[in-house]
Structure 1
Amino acid sequence: MAGKRTVAVITGLLMFVAVIGCSTSEKSGNASTPGNQNKDQGEAATDSKKNEKVYIYANAGNLSLASTLSKKEDLEIVHKEILDRSGFDVQTNIPPKGQEAEKLNLLLASNEPIDIFVGSIGGFRDNGAIQPLNDLLDKYGSYIRKLWPKEWASAWDAVTDKEGKIWAIPQVPQLAEKTIFLRSDWLAKLNLTMPKTIEEYETVLKAFKEMDPTGAGQTIPIITNMTGLNLALSAGFMDVGYGPWLDKDGKVKPPEINPGYKDFIAKMAEWYKKGYIFKETFTLNTERTRELIKQNRVASAIIHYSVVTNIQSDLQKKTPEALYEVAGELKGPKGNITTMSGLSPYGWMLNKKSKNPEAAIKFIDWINSDIENYLLIMYGIKDKHWKYIDETKHVFERMNQDYAGEYLTASTFAYTVQFAPSDPASKPEYDFLGKYSGDTSRVKNPATADVDYLYDQQEISDKLPHIEDINRMIEEEVVKFIMGARPMSDYDKFVQELYSAGLDKWIEVMTEQYNKVKAAKR
């Protein structure tokens, strides 16, 4: 059940990372900070070997959303610049839109040259299509390892098997994408401060409702959905993050039967009854939610960060003082309120048939040795395709779209938090990514996050053919409790209904998966 949700979160994020490639000027505690001091690595690569060919498959995701590809002359100029600076003759294979996976499978089954591509390691590893990277990383990957902050080390676990073989270079760490945003300008207007406890938050919500900063009774204290509530707030009522948890009997159980989760739903039902949670919130789609935010009506949003950050600029055109900020210090009765995503077995792999895997790893290491190497393959030539607005913070501006990014490879969230576009409309989103999404100090992990990415999903589907029915039943009934359509006194009865619908089997299968993976990792 939660595994499906985690996959959805990860998939959405990976597409986002692939498209933007890089982000805010906020640093993230890197073990080393790529910069001019690392240029010796690029020089060493250039001096040691010239013109080694590296074949990349351009499935990072950026080209799938590009309206056009590069102009021929610009592509050639970028190719030459990469060659001159790195010593590698990079050849790119551009997949047809919508058929990226099919084309990749054909390439891997053929003898056509391909070295580097991105994806989830499971199927490629099991089918013998990729090769372990340990020795190559030890010999040629010093900057690859240094780029990743220590607090994100678990990302490497997700691409490493029980024998310790590393099958990919990770693309994203665990992240927290759902959060609580508050209109800080309204807090100031009402002489309130950013809340740090649930009680303080409730006081703020009451003030928003009663003092109605929008006017004419149009203020919405909270807009949200179940995913937002679960991942941005429920952990504050439990000892672990939202997700399957280990009960005292040693069995893995869904979060909805955690005693703390029941307390959380009771509090949400109370807020809904008091009018703090928007009455229509569980029937809204993303576009309608954005519309309400843009109309200057939403005081607090407990939702995916991009829904708020992407619309703030539009809101400020009519209401310049409007500002959403993260309630970053808010805690619940049981501490941190935000749940971190699971581990992602998604990363950059080397084809088992690669003719020169050493060159491929050296090229990725060169990319990771200096942020401007990454800007080159992502956006093109400095002062021709892009320019710095603030070089010290790596804030940049696109000058044109003549280069579309065909040479982008090894995209990584470790660079995503290191620079930002100058476009003010993008700033809130990039600020959130840099300051909050990867901050492990303000989150909780689901209890099984260290192993559930290794579960056998096919086996789970085979043994739990009705798992989606259980998932749907859970969400529908929980919403009923919050909206008052079902009294909280029925919650224990609801749990028994879950068991009657097959929850016993769910617990058996998930516990079996958990124990199997745990045993294999020992």
Structure 2
Amino acid sequence: MLKKASHLILAASVVLSVSACSSGNKESGGTNPTTDSNSEASTKTEKIYFYANGGQVSQTKMSKPEDLELVKQAIIDKIGIEVVPIIPPKGTEEEKLNILLASNEPLDVFLAGKLPNFQSKGALMPLNDLLDKYGANIRKLWPEDWATSWDAVSTPDKKIWGIPRLPAIAGNTVYMRTDWLSKLGLQMPTTIDELENVLKTFKEKDPAGSGQTIPLLTNLSGLNNSLAAGFMGTGYGNWIDTDGKVKPAVMHPGYKEFLAKMADWYQKGYIFKEAFSAKNERITELVKQNRAAGFAGWYSSIAGNESALQQNEPNAKYEVAAELKGPKGYVTSMGGIDVSGWAISKSSKNAETVIKYIDWLHSDIENYFLAFYGIEGKHWKYVDKEKRVLETLNTDYAGEFVIGSTFAYTVQFESKDPVNAPQFDYMRKYITDTKRALMPGDAEEAYKYDNALINEQVPALSDLTRMMEEEVTKFIMGARPMSEYDKFLQELNHAGMDKWIEVYTDQNMKVKAAK
């Protein structure tokens, strides 16, 4: 498929990146789960063995020992539970997790990146009874309009195998340099025609100077996910045709119109000339170098680097083109439904304690801040308590005790830190706003597809995916004329697209029938 399931995982990484990082110097072996640092306390407290693979910490990003101990004891004093973090070895996190699951070493809870894979192998414990008894706050915290996330961590028999952490999100968007819009007498664009005029003006007036202005900094994924929905009337990705069949985005009539417009913009010099070869690092540097007038792509490329840009350009300011629409409506696409979740190992001896602890974290954001940021006044402080704006004071505590990190809390607070503040702002205002972002046509079923079976039944799957991406790039860059687009679709059919459509349609119908 053209849509990338990795978007949601990237989004999780961005959410977690706003946490404190560590300058500690623990041994590379990480925390020893069999060592009691306080034997007296351990006889009075319950323990949780936690594989800390949620992106918060690593072998090179951990707390100072004395700060870790302070936070651990504070949590024990409040709830009588000791969290024993097992730090994933850098580069082999998944391998270590599989070893733990297959061994007799203690392991209670971990983040299952693709929860169905673990559940199908019998590695997890169902959570229904535990949530009913001890998880009222877990259920309460998760908004009702994100309910599909619970379906994503459940099986058709209604058994729940994990606690969701992410809803469907819209991380791709269009940003504009509003200081340059003002300088040139332009308004924030709300239509494709207005956007085209803005890009044209940016190119001609060159606000960066010396011909360095890039009207629209982007890449293929950014274009697809930030603009294509406005031409398709559905989120970028698979869609359901009038014949009831699931088809890839390239076969949507509106996508052909979208590509024609992007090809025209590229030929006119509005789109970054290296858009289809530049790495993320290159895009970040161009933002910091004061060259990007507009941007289409993952929000943190702008939100996470605006403060660095402002060090040299104090007046520089990016804002989201929130009302931008194409001929078929809003231009932004939602990602797919996330299938990751906080899971309890089937062999866990402390499952009740895990749910009690996560429920305690989810019962009060102050509890969450303790595990996430550390001790108030020592590791962080409030800037505005009523609005939940906080500031980190140091990086001595890295967050080893956060189990059940959740987007439901991420949108409830923000950081004063100039690097993180724009990211919180975007997440709070836009990332779950379904009014301005469209889901792909089969999104309500796609997360339940049997991907292993799809790979088996469509032997040309990877070739078709590569072919679609390569040819789309050629059309935009002008290496292949748009007059050959119908020929391209015929080439896909010859390469096995008919089988692709058959198998995905079958999967879609089976999921719908099981609901």
Say whether the fold is shared (TM-score over 0.5): yes
CA contact (8 A) 1:337 1:443 kept: yes
Q: Which amino acid aligns with 1:11?
A: I
- Which residue does 2:430 correspond to in 1? 436
- Which residue does 2:106 correspond to in 1? 113
Give, in whole Å, the separation in 1 of the partners of 2:409 and 2:71: 20
> Do residues 454 (structure 1) and 454 (structure 2) align?
no
1:66-77 matched pairs, under 5 angstroms: 67-77=60-70
1:80-129 deviation per Cα after TM superposition (whole angstroms, max 9, x unaligned): 11011123233333333333333333333334433221112212212222
- Which residue does 2:221 correspond to in 1? 227
- Which residue does 2:293 correspond to in 1? 299
1:82-481 matched pairs, under 5 angstroms: 82-119=75-112, 120-481=114-475
Give, in whole Å, the separation in 2 of the partners of 1:270 and 1:487: 11
Q: Which runs of 5+ in 2 are unaligned?
A: 21-43
Give, in whole Å, the separation in 1 of the partners of 2:310 and 2:397: 32
Q: 1:252 to 1:300 in 2, by over 3 A?
A: same
1:363-420 deviation per Cα after TM superposition (whole angstroms, max 9, x unaligned): 1110001112111112221112222222223222332333232212111111122223
- Which residue does 1:15 correspond to in 2? 13
CA contact (8 A) 2:52 2:85 kept: yes
- Give the match's secondary structure for 1:53: strand
- Give the match's secondary structure for 1:381: coil
1:495-517 deviation per Cα after TM superposition (whole angstroms, max 9, x unaligned): 11111111111111211221222
- Give the match's secondary structure for 1:220: coil
Q: Which amino acid aligns with 1:72?
A: P
1:122-164 deviation per Cα after TM superposition (whole angstroms, max 9, x unaligned): 1221222212222222222121112122232221121111121
Give, in whole Å, the separation in 1 of the partners of 2:70 and 2:263: 60
CA contact (8 A) 2:392 2:417 kept: no
Aligned residues: 492
Q: Which amino acid aligns with 1:196?
A: T
Which one of the candidate residues 65, 68, 74 is aligned to 1:81? 74
Give, in whole Å, the separation in 2 of the partners of 1:54 and 1:280: 49
Q: 1:250 to 1:211 in 2, by over 3 A?
A: same
- Which residue does 2:34 correspond to in 1? none
Q: Which amino acid aligns with 1:108?
A: L
1:21-63 deviation per Cα after TM superposition (whole angstroms, max 9, x unaligned): 59xxxxxxxxxxxxxxxxxxxxxxxxxxx73333322222221
- Which residue does 1:29 correspond to in 2? none
Give, in whole Å, the separation in 2 of the partners of 1:298 and 1:382: 39
CA contact (8 A) 1:386 1:397 kept: yes
Q: Which amino acid aligns with 1:322?
A: A
Q: CA deviation at 1:330?
A: 0.7
1:54-82 deviation per Cα after TM superposition (whole angstroms, max 9, x unaligned): 33222222212x63533333222212110
Q: Which runs of 5+ in 1 are unaligned?
A: 23-49
Q: Is the deviation greater in 453-462 or in 323-332?
A: 453-462
Give, in whole Å, the separation in 1 of the partners of 2:448 and 2:9: 16
Q: Which amino acid aligns with 2:18?
A: I
Regions of 4+ moved over 6 Å: none
Give, in whole Å, the separation in 2 of the partners of 1:334 and 1:188: 28
Q: 1:21 to 1:6 in 2, by over 3 A?
A: farther
Q: CA deviation at 1:265?
A: 0.8
CA contact (8 A) 1:140 1:362 kept: yes
Give, in whole Å, the separation in 1 of the partners of 2:13 and 2:300: 13
Give, in whole Å, the separation in 2 of the partners of 1:389 and 1:315: 24
Give, in whole Å, the separation in 2 of the partners of 1:213 and 1:92: 51
Q: Which amino acid aligns with 2:87?
A: I
- Give the match's secondary structure for 1:348: strand
CA contact (8 A) 1:209 1:276 kept: yes
Give, in whole Å, the separation in 2 of the partners of 1:360 and 1:288: 42
CA contact (8 A) 2:180 2:207 kept: yes
State the identity %. 56
Give the aligned CA root-mean-square deviation in angstroms: 2.0
- Give the match's secondary structure for 1:108: helix
Q: 1:201 to 1:517 in 2, by over 3 A?
A: same
Q: Which amino acid aligns with 1:482?
A: I
Q: 1:352 to 1:110 in 2, by over 3 A?
A: same
- Which residue does 2:27 correspond to in 1? none
> Do residues 492 (structure 1) and 490 (structure 2) align?
no
Structure possessing the higher relative contact order (Cα contacts under 8 Å, 6 or more residues apart)? 1
Q: CA deviation at 1:238?
A: 1.1
Q: 1:98 to 1:284 in 2, by over 3 A?
A: closer
- Which residue does 2:40 correspond to in 1? none
Q: Which amino acid aligns with 1:116?
A: V
Q: Which amino acid aligns with 1:93?
A: I
CA contact (8 A) 2:19 2:373 kept: no
CA contact (8 A) 2:175 2:295 kept: yes
- Give the match's secondary structure for 1:248: coil
- Give the match's secondary structure for 2:452: helix
TM-score (ref. length: structure 2) = 0.91
Q: Is the deviation greater in 144-153 or in 325-334?
A: 144-153
Give, in whole Å, the separation in 1 of the partners of 2:66 and 2:307: 35
Give, in whole Å, the separation in 2 of the partners of 1:278 and 1:78: 47
Q: 1:201 to 1:417 in 2, by over 3 A?
A: same
1:427-453 deviation per Cα after TM superposition (whole angstroms, max 9, x unaligned): 222211221111111110001111111
Give, in whole Å, the separation in 2 of the partners of 1:290 and 1:60: 25
CA contact (8 A) 1:221 1:298 kept: yes
Q: Which has the higher helix share?
A: 1
CA contact (8 A) 1:21 1:416 kept: no
TM-score (ref. length: structure 1) = 0.89
Q: CA deviation at 1:19?
A: 4.1
CA contact (8 A) 1:180 1:301 kept: yes
CA contact (8 A) 2:19 2:398 kept: no
- Which residue does 2:26 correspond to in 1? none
